[in-house]
């Protein structure tokens, strides 16, 4: 009798131990798969070394999304995105055919600030618990990525303008090619924002309606950017 009791006790202990090991292993797996947001030190470095900002915004979207959606160091992230949005399109604007350092920054960032209140109010109204800074940061991903792509395109548009001598009666005037590249840059910005939103994890389940609002807001942003381009005489 004693032997059988002992063996039952032993097998129950064994089951408990194996359950505990499995739970610990699951927990460890979750911890490993959880993406770490950018730390204060990393963000501070990005202010001093702009190439790090490029890497964080374009290549580190998982971690950037973790910052935005969990609200970690949001102020620093928003400031970094804003600075990138303002400064990275300057080279594209400075070269022909735009010939104005600020126009492209105004085009992307200005249009975004016009549309931002709409995003924030509608998301609050529909119960998406994102703070103003979170919405701002999320929206700034579009303008910062668009700005970075325009930075990548500036040697190309400069060379095209130089080598075609900007003939106005051309079938493909440089201004048209420039608008095409800017539209492409905006598209990449939108794609990057949507990729960030799709990174959401268990901690951000409150935002499940966000992917439904964003397409409508993006349409508004595209329309306002088009109008802004007309006002800035980019066509």
Partner 1 sequence: MIRRLLEALFASALYGFSIGAVHSLQLASWNLFKFPLLIILTGGICGVAYYVFALFITDRLTFRDVVQHALTIYRDISILLASLSPVSLFLAKTIVQPHDKDLNEYPFFLGLNVFFIAACGTVALIRRASDLLNNCNVERRQSVLIILSWLAISLFAGGQCAWYLRPYFGVSTIKDIPFIEGSRPDYRGARSFYEAVYHLMDPPPLPDDYRNYLQGH
Residues in the site for partner 1, rule: CB under 8 A? 51, 54-55, 58-61, 145, 148-149, 151-156, 158-160, 163-165, 167, 170-172, 177, 188, 192
User: Toward partner 1, which CB reaches closer, 27 or 164?
Assistant: 164
Provide the minimum distance between the beta carbon of 190 and partner 1 in the complex, in angstroms, as a whole number.
12
Handedness of CA 174, 176, 177, 183 (dihedral sign): positive
Provide the minimum distance between the beta carbon of 112 and partner 1 in the complex, in angstroms, as a whole number.
19
User: Toward partner 1, which CB reaches closer, 160 or 207?
Assistant: 160
Residues 159, 177: contact at Cβ < 8 Å? Answer: no
Compute, in degrees rounded to 10, the torsion defined by CA atoms 135, 65, 190, 97. Answer: 90
Provide the minimum distance between the beta carbon of 79 and partner 1 in the complex, in angstroms, as a whole number.
21
User: Toward partner 1, which CB reaches closer, 8 or 62?
Assistant: 62
User: Toward partner 1, which CB reaches closer, 10 or 172?
Assistant: 172
Provide the minimum distance between the beta carbon of 188 and partner 1 in the complex, in angstroms, as a whole number.
6
Closest C-alpha among 187, 183, 103, 181 to residue 142: 187
Provide the minimum distance between the beta carbon of 69 and partner 1 in the complex, in angstroms, as a whole number.
18
User: Toward partner 1, which CB reaches closer, 73 or 195?
Assistant: 195
Neighbour tally for 121: CB within 10 Å: 11
- Residue 185, judged by CB atoms within 10 A of its CB (0-12, 13-18, 19+), counts as buried
Residues 142, 189: contact at Cβ < 8 Å? Answer: yes
């Amino acid at each position: 009798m004693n032997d059988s009791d002992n063996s039952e006790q032993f097998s129950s202990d064994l089951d408990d131990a194996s359950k505990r090991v499995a739970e610990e292993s699951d927990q460890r797996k979750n911890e490993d798969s959880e993406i770490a947001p950018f730390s204060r030190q990393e963000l501070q470095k990005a202010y001093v070394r702009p190439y790090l900002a490029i890497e964080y915004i374009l290549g580190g979207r998982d971690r950037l999304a973790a910052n935005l959606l969990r609200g970690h160091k949001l102020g620093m992230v928003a400031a970094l995105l804003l600075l990138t949005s303002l400064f990275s399109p300057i080279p594209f604007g400075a070269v022909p055919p735009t010939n104005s350092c600020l126009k492209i920054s105004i085009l992307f960032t200005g249009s975004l600030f016009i549309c931002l209140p709409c995003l924030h109010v509608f998301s609050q109204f529909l119960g998406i618990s994102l703070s103003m800074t979170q919405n701002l940061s999320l929206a700034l991903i579009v303008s910062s990525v668009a700005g970075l792509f325009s930075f990548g395109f500036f040697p190309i548009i400069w060379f095209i303008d130089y080598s075609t001598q900007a003939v106005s009666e051309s079938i493909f005037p440089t201004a048209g090619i420039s608008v095409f590249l800017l539209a492409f840059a905006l598209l990449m910005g939108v794609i990057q924002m949507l990729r960030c939103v799709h990174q959401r994890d268990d901690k951000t389940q409150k935002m499940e309606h966000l992917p439904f609002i964003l397409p409508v807001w993006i349409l508004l942003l595209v329309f306002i950017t088009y109008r802004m381009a007309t006002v800035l005489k980019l066509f």
